[in-house]
Chain A
Amino acid sequence: MRKEMRKEKTFSPQKSSRQRRTQTLYMIFGFLLAVVILAPVVWMLLTSVMQPVDLTAKPLRLIPKQITLERYSHIFKSASSSDPAYVFRIALKNSFIIAVSVTILSLVIGTLAAYAFAHVRFRGRNALMLLILFTYMVPPAALIIPLYRIYNSLGLLDRRWPLVILYLSFVIPFIIWVMQDFFGSISKTYEEAAQVDGATRLQTLLYIFLPIARPGAVAAGILAFLMSWDEFFYALIFTSSLSSKTMTIAIEEFNGKFTIDYGMISTAGILGSLIPVMITIIFQKYIVMGMTAGGVKE
């Protein structure tokens, strides 16, 4: 006993100095990592508030002498429909409406199906689940031409709700995938107990299963919102005017102009990233849960 204690004593200072060295090393790498993560974001923020002269100054001044919030107020105030700043504001609104609609609809539709896949026995269950999984892998390029022709002939181009339907097609399989995992982990005995008490199946789903699977629904819903907010390919093909153009397309158009205004692009970029970045930081735990459930499962 005593021998061991002495050993501890002679050992510990040596160990702690080594520990301190590795700690310092970790902190150096940690600092470098923070720079890599944050520097581009900070640069975008700086560019959005720099004076136009500073943007094209050579040599480049990393810290601007004077900042301006002119671009932000311009985006919120502009009233001319030919002004890209105005277009961006409307597109932000379109994106928000579309993403919220997709989130709500896909959660309702997808949760019902996920529950069926996890807790109801029916013929062809496995085959249908495989089909759902398969859609996950289909490149949108293999769908776009018939979709475009159908939408064109039905007069559904450049409208918001037809775009919502397109987004549902890739968000619903994702929701089913994540949610059936959560439902699957809920014991069948809950259901039996509820039925003994005279609850209908719908009541069982609404009052027993949904409350238990709520964290899963939150996770899936957030990811559904982010997926719709980020979508570009369908929006590029199916929208053309202010009535449906999304934020991603408006930002792309800022880039496409003859004289590229990096100040405005950065301002739009900051505004376009604000909602997803805030959501992600606040709901980080849920997002990690949803992503790992959707990716690593089986």
Chain B
Amino acid sequence: MLLKKAEERYALKLITPSIVVVMGVIIIPIITTFIYSLVNIDPLSSHRGEFAGLSFYISALTSSAFWADLRRTLYFTIASTAAETVFGLLVALLLNQSFPGVRFLRSIIIIPWAIPTVVNGSLWKLMLNGEYGVVNAILTKLHLLSAYQSFLGSPKTAMMCIVIADAWKMTPLAVIFFLAALQGINPTVYEAARVDGAGALQRFKAITLPALAPTIMVVIVMRTVEKFKAFDIFYLMTRGGPANSTRTLMYTTYLQAFTNLNYSEAATCAYLIAIIVGILTLVYLRIMRREENI
């Protein structure tokens, strides 16, 4: 009994610094934000200080702007996660082979991931520039494009540009996860399958894919949660424009809070993001538990 108490005191000493930081900077603010979404605290509002109940949530959920933002957020999330997963898998399969130069490729694959997001954003903005950009120069030279285009200046292509920039930086992360999982597969299993006459595609379907399934799941869900929270790349490349075509929920939250000074509206939007991310996380934990049971 005494020993148990001593253990508890020891543990308390060890975890207190962490808990203080996490409580102070995450738990307390997240509760406060919830209160802000229920009570009007907008500095410029005439209803300041009044209890608003769920009215901020209702007005957010009934506004077409919210659904448009959500649609764009989902478009970005799904498109970039899909691109990273598919290309990540293909590249990992390639890098898992042995051929001249593969060691070099394995060591450079991580470079895009190491480049800071802000630099990545500037880099693609520079390459996609409508007047002097190298992408325009190459595409017109190859006659794939008749005239220079302002990719980031057009509502039709701006979001796709951000997806490309993001996928370029983040695909290596997926590659690293997949490569680690591939290297965990026992090569004799492939040998046995080959002896039994299984073709490359059959081997992929029967051995590789099942072995990679848990990792693919982790990558998809981990990335989805991250994409939902993405902000830097949007701020840097388009600031939500042109014509709101790249304005996501995260960006609207930022605009509401720090441009329009609508604190309560921003808190509400942030909570709606948190709820969606929370649901995704629950799904994530569910899937993980199911994988563990298998």
Residues of A at under 8 Å CB distance from B? Answer: 23, 26-27, 29-31, 33-34, 36-38, 40-41, 43-44, 47, 55-60, 62, 109-110, 112-113, 115-117, 120-123, 125, 128, 131-132, 134-135, 137-148, 150, 165-166, 168-169, 172-173, 176, 201, 226, 229-230, 232-233, 236-237, 247-248, 251-252, 254-255, 262, 265-266, 268-269, 272-273, 276-277, 279-281, 284, 287-288, 291-292, 295-296, 298
User: With A145-B36, A298-B292 as given contacts, are A230 and B105 in contact (CB-CB < 8 Å)?
Assistant: no
CB within 8 Å of A: which of B103-122?
A: 104-105, 107-119, 121-122
In the complex, which of the residues B110, B177, B229 contacts A140, with contact meaning CB atoms closer than 8 Å?
B229
Chain B residues, Cβ within 8 Å of A279: 114
B91 at the interface (CB under 8 A from A): yes
Flag if B115 contacts A43 (CB, 8 Å): no
B257–chain A nearest beta-carbon distance, Å = 6
Chain A residues, Cβ within 8 Å of B235: 232, 236, 252
Chain A residues, Cβ within 8 Å of B225: 137
Chain B residues, Cβ within 8 Å of A26: 94, 97, 99, 102
Chain B window 194-214, contacts with chain A (Cβ cutoff 8 Å), 1 for yes, 0 for no: 000000000000000000001
Flag if A168 contacts B176 (CB, 8 Å): no
Question: How many residues of chain B are within 8 Å of chain A by beta carbon?
Answer: 93
Flag if B127 contacts A40 (CB, 8 Å): yes
B129 at the interface (CB under 8 A from A): yes
In the complex, which of the residues B7, B97, B258 contacts A237, with contact meaning CB atoms closer than 8 Å?
B258
Flag if B19 contacts A128 (CB, 8 Å): yes
Chain A residues, Cβ within 8 Å of B180: 288, 292
CA distance A269 to B123 in the complex (A): 8
CA distance A57 to B29 in the complex (A): 51
Flag if B17 contacts A113 (CB, 8 Å): yes
Residues of B at under 8 Å CB distance from A? Answer: 4, 7-8, 10-12, 14-15, 17-19, 21-22, 24-30, 32-33, 36, 91, 94, 97, 99-102, 104-105, 107-119, 121-127, 129, 131-132, 134, 137, 141, 168, 173, 176-177, 180, 214-215, 218-219, 222, 225, 228-229, 231-232, 235-236, 250, 253-254, 257-258, 263, 266-267, 269-271, 273-274, 277-278, 281, 288, 292
